[in-house]
Structure formats: structure tokens, C-alpha cells
Amino acid sequence: GAVVSQHPSWVICKSGTSVKIECRSLDFQATTMFWYRQFPKQSLMLMATSNEGSKATYEQGVEKDKFLINHASLTLSTLTVTSAHPEDSSFYICSARDMVAGLDTQYFGPGTRLTVL
């Protein structure tokens, strides 16, 4: 199946700093990528939809200025957590949408564990 990578896999940062997470589709082009957040023992929560070459669409309750998303190419989307605080500590997962033979499937990256001290 299609492969999606994320970098870094884990990051620890001080409160107030910014952290950038990269999401890449390795063997297909993704016009749409998604960013999710998962809290312990909870389901995946969609944060935003990222379309190549245009502004991201954020879900209700997600701060646009805090979670900056850039989708500059068909294989790369980045999520920047600005001025991170301990409550931003979470597991962030991206996915890339692959349209093959008319079927729409999302393939997920391995996730990034963010810990804000």
C-alpha cells in the first residue's frame, strides 16, 4: 500500500517554542492531506484538512494561528505548533488521501509524539 512518513517521530520542547512536523507521501501524490490529534484512550480527532496550494480548512475549535499548516507540494504538508504549551502535548498523526481507481483511501503516517515541558 501507499506509504506516508512523518518527521520527527517524537519531540520534546520547552514551553513557548515552536515545533514543525513534516508529513510526506512517499510513493504517491496527495492533493489532500489531513492532520489528526489523538489523546490517550481516545479516538483520532481531525484538526484540519490541507489542500495543496491553498489554505487549510480547520475544524471547529482548532486555532488557526496556533497550528499552522502548509501544503506546498503534492508530497509534503507541514504542521507547525506555535508557542507550544504543555496542553499541546499529544500524538499528532497525518494522513494523505490517495485516489486509486476511483476509491478514496487515507493512508496514515506513523505519528509524532510531542511533549511540551
Partner 1 sequence: DQQVKQNSPSLSVQEGRISILNCDYTNSMFDYFLWYKKYPAEGPTFLISISSIKDKNEDGRFTVFLNKSAKHLSLHIVPSQPGDSAVYFCAASAHYGGSQGNLIFGKGTKLSVKP
- Applying CB under 8 A, the residues found at the interface with partner 1 are 1, 4, 6, 32, 34, 42-44, 46, 49, 51, 57, 91, 93-95, 97, 103-111, 113
Minimum distance, C-beta of residue 2 to partner 1, in the bound complex (Å): 8
Rounded to whole angstroms, how far apart are CA atoms 61 and 77? 21
Which residue bears the cell 520547552?
14
Instruction: Tally the C-alpha atoms within 13 A of residue 74's C-alpha that lie toward its C-beta.
Output: 6
- Using the minimum distance from each CB to partner 1, give the nearer residue, 67 or 107: 107
- Residues constituting the chain: 117
Minimum distance, C-beta of residue 42 to partner 1, in the bound complex (Å): 7
Rounded to whole angstroms, how far apart are CA atoms 75 and 52? 9
- Using the minimum distance from each CB to partner 1, give the nearer residue, 23 or 84: 23
Rounded to whole angstroms, how far apart are CA atoms 24 and 3? 8
- Using the minimum distance from each CB to partner 1, give the nearer residue, 51 or 82: 51
Minimum distance, C-beta of residue 64 to partner 1, in the bound complex (Å): 17
